[in-house]
Amino acid sequence: MQAKLERLPFGVGQLTPKYLTFVMGMLVLLAIGLLSYGRQLSEGHIITGLRDIGSMGGATWGLYIVFLIYFVGVSFAGITIAAMIRLLDVHYLKPISRIAELITVTALILAGLCILPDLGQPLRGITNLFRYARPQSPFFGTFTLVVSGYFFASLVYLYLASRPDAATCAQVPSRLQGLHRLWAAGYRGTPAEQHRRKVASFWLAIAILPLLVTAHSTLGFVFGLQVGRPGWHSALQAPGFVVMAGVSGVGLVILVAALFRRLYGAETRLDDRIFRWLGNLLMVLVLAYLYFMVVEWLTGAYEGHQHELKLTKALLGGDFASTYWLAVICLVVPLAILFGQWVRNQFSLTQLVVAGALVNVAAIAKRYLLVVPSQTHGTLLPYGTGSYSPTSVEYAVVLGVIALGCLIFAIFVKVFPVIDLTDGAE
């Protein structure tokens, strides 16, 4: 057990004007999002940019699905890092694990919320998805493995890992003492308790790792198993989802961790070693994803199948070229940065943060390029080319969902230390 603290660490329980302004801003965004969703509920999906594929020349899945798969992808990070700390014994990473786990839990909540505005009958969705669940549908995996299993496992993991810190905080007199005492639930840090907790989280980590691959793969199968959509039907889809999930997730962990390091002056807890390790992991993942992209591109272009070719042309030089090349740049530039840092053994947090931000732009762009072009430019019957541009309603709802994620983070950091207090070596 750690030495007694004088006061709660990392600004827990202290509200500053800056913090309140941030929360107010997010609340406003959330309110706008809710209002827009209300409008969509009363007027119907006609106020979105979505339309039927085919004779109506539209895309029937749009921004909501793009962000659904983006958020599920982002959730990769927490559990990977938590499991790696446990299984590979990289103890110096421990201070970052709670940030990462919190990203997982928050992102999965947001992903679940992104499904709702996409549904034409959201209330039926909540009941029927359970009442009439069909394991044959690739969506089944999204709802069971991802939204339920993965979410629950992450939540338990987050809780298990946070109990010692809750016990430490519970010794500090504050308004939150009661909550921390409840959170610790009698944890005292005796050797027997520590051992039990270690064993429990070890086995949970072992259970979570295959869940991670299968959960992200099922989301890939939602697209990869569809023979009717050029650009989707590919065996590369599932592994591609796992890798892209890693790219965006690790990128976001870097961003958020750097933010908290700055906010709380936690240079000693979140030291450069952690960020270097994250940077190297990100480099490997980006490299793997670029390889997948080249394979995908070559298959589409070389094969010369008319529908695949039309889609590849639209991506590389047609209607989606600007987004496509933005995504490529946002992957290649971070790769150059990260490779430069690794090969010269230099480190700059600013550069790493830039890389983390860029790969997330690339992730959103790539998700968009996966979802939309195959619908507007991928009809197998000669309907003619369609188009899709999101309306303000869709943007507002998505921004509202993101604002909610920021709020979850903002509330968490004020009731609990977001950076692990105990050392990995215990």
- Of 267, 272, 383, 389, which one interacts with other proteins (CB under 8 A)? 383
Rounded to the nearest 10 degrees, the angle between the axes of helix 237-264 and helix 349-371 is: 140
Rule CB under 8 A: is residue 379 a binding residue for other proteins?
Answer: yes
Rule CB under 8 A: is residue 133 a binding residue for other proteins?
Answer: yes
Q: What is the DSSP letter of 230?
A: T
Q: Which long-range contacts (CB under 8 A, 24 or more apart) does 233-240 make?
A: 234/296, 234/299, 236/292, 236/295, 236/296, 239/292, 240/289, 240/292, 240/296
Q: Minimum distance from CB of 310 to other proteins (Å)?
A: 10
Structure tokens at 112: 């679940």
Distance CA 215, CA 209 (A): 10
Q: Which is nearer to other proteins, 178 or 228 (CB)?
A: 228
Q: Which is nearer to other proteins, 122 or 424 (CB)?
A: 122
Q: Minimum distance from CB of 364 to other proteins (Å)?
A: 20
- Angle CA(291)–CA(296)–CA(297) in degrees, nearest 5? 100
- Give the number of residues in contact with other proteins, rule: CB under 8 A: 48
Task: Count other Cβ atoms within 10 Å, centred on residue 426.
Answer: 13
Q: What does the longest C-alpha to C-alpha distance in the chain come to?
A: 72
Range in contact with other proteins (rule: CB under 8 A) among 1-9, 102-110, 177-185, 379-387: 379-387
Q: Which is nearer to other proteins, 104 or 375 (CB)?
A: 375
Tell which residue, 413, 405, 412, has the closest CA to residue 108: 405
- Of 1, 119, 284, 316, which one interacts with other proteins (CB under 8 A)? 119
H-state helical runs in 171-271: 177-184, 191-224, 237-264
Q: Locate tokens 């030089």: which residue?
A: 317
Question: Using CB under 8 A as the criterion, what x/- string covers residues 166-205 for binding other proteins?
Answer: ----------------------------------------
Distance CA 12, CA 413 (A): 6
Distance CA 141, CA 38 (A): 29
Rule CB under 8 A: is residue 394 a binding residue for other proteins?
Answer: no
Range in contact with other proteins (rule: CB under 8 A) among 10-18, 70-78, 222-230, 293-301: 222-230
Instruction: Report residue 80 CA to chain centroid gap.
Output: 12
Rule CB under 8 A: is residue 57 a binding residue for other proteins?
Answer: yes
Rule CB under 8 A: is residue 43 a binding residue for other proteins?
Answer: yes
Complete DSSP assignment for 308-330: HHHHHHHHHTSTTHHHHHHHHHH
Q: Which is nearer to other proteins, 45 or 180 (CB)?
A: 45
Output the CA–CA distances (angstroms, integers) from residue 347 to 53, 280, 411, in the order listed: 48, 11, 32
Q: Minimum distance from CB of 242 to other proteins (Å)?
A: 21
- Of 1, 13, 22, 125, which one interacts with other proteins (CB under 8 A)? 125
Q: Which is nearer to other proteins, 134 or 344 (CB)?
A: 134
Q: Which is nearer to other proteins, 104 or 142 (CB)?
A: 142
Rule CB under 8 A: is residue 132 a binding residue for other proteins?
Answer: yes
Q: Which is nearer to other proteins, 113 or 166 (CB)?
A: 113
Range in contact with other proteins (rule: CB under 8 A) among 85-93, 182-190, 234-242, 374-382: 374-382
Q: Minimum distance from CB of 134 to other proteins (Å)?
A: 5
Complete DSSP assignment for 172-187: S-STTHHHHHHHHTT-
Question: Using CB under 8 A as the criterion, what x/- string covers residues 60-99 for binding other proteins?
Answer: xx--------------------------------------
- Residue 147 and residue 108 in contact, taking contact as beta carbons nearer than 8 Å: yes
Structure tokens at 268: 């000693």
Q: Minimum distance from CB of 216 to other proteins (Å)?
A: 18
What three-state secondary structure class fits 108? Answer: helix
Q: Which is nearer to other proteins, 112 or 251 (CB)?
A: 112
Structure tokens at 197: 């907790």
Rule CB under 8 A: is residue 387 a binding residue for other proteins?
Answer: no
Residues 279-308 touching other proteins, rule: CB under 8 A, are 306
Rule CB under 8 A: is residue 347 a binding residue for other proteins?
Answer: no
Range in contact with other proteins (rule: CB under 8 A) among 40-48, 335-343, 354-362, 418-426: 40-48
Rounded to the nearest 10 degrees, the angle between the axes of helix 237-264 and helix 272-303 is: 150
Distance CA 424, CA 17 (A): 34
Enumerate binding residues for other proteins (CB under 8 A): 43-46, 50-57, 60-61, 115, 118-122, 124-125, 128-129, 131-134, 136-140, 143, 222, 225-229, 306, 375, 379-384
